[in-house]
Amino acid sequence: MYQGDKRTNLLVSNALTIGITVVNFVIRGINIWLVGLIRLHTISSQLLVISMSIFIATFLNTGMVLLLGQANLDQTALGFIPFNGAYKDLTESWYINIGPALVSAMLLNSIYIYLDFGIAYGTKFFFRSLD
């Protein structure tokens, strides 16, 4: 029974990490597209707005989704929000179950910059080699 619970917890943790990272990729693309519609006067101001909007959206998605997704808000002022998680507070069990997913998501988001760079130049090199 214990090993089954441990595997299920690991599976849910990894699924959360991958799900959050995929949503962050989508948010990044949407933010770049929306800032492109604004048509700022300089490229540096456009890059500044893109960077800030991606940072804020990624921070809220990564941090708040994991915190609120497992929160039990029944006895709080936010009781109207339909989160009925198992944890009423940040207990040791919360850190054991949710902490690894949070750390994995942050780690994956931190190395995504290098992955994106490698993928962009890899595809560029691949299509050049086809010519």
pLDDT, tens digit, 9 for 90 and up, residues 68-102 = 767 777 777 777 777 666 777 777 877 777 777 77
First to last CA, the chain: 58
Q: What is the average per-residue pLDDT within 94-120?
A: 80
pLDDT tens, residue by residue, 17-57? 778 778 888 888 898 899 889 888 898 898 899 888 888 88
| Total domains present in the chain | 1
- Cα 131 to Cα 7, 122, 124, 127, 128: the distances in Å are 48, 15, 11, 7, 5
Q: Is this prediction's pTM over 0.85?
A: no
- What range defines the domain where residue 58 resides? 2-130
Distance CA 110, CA 28 (A): 14
What are 124's two structure tokens?
A: 């560029």
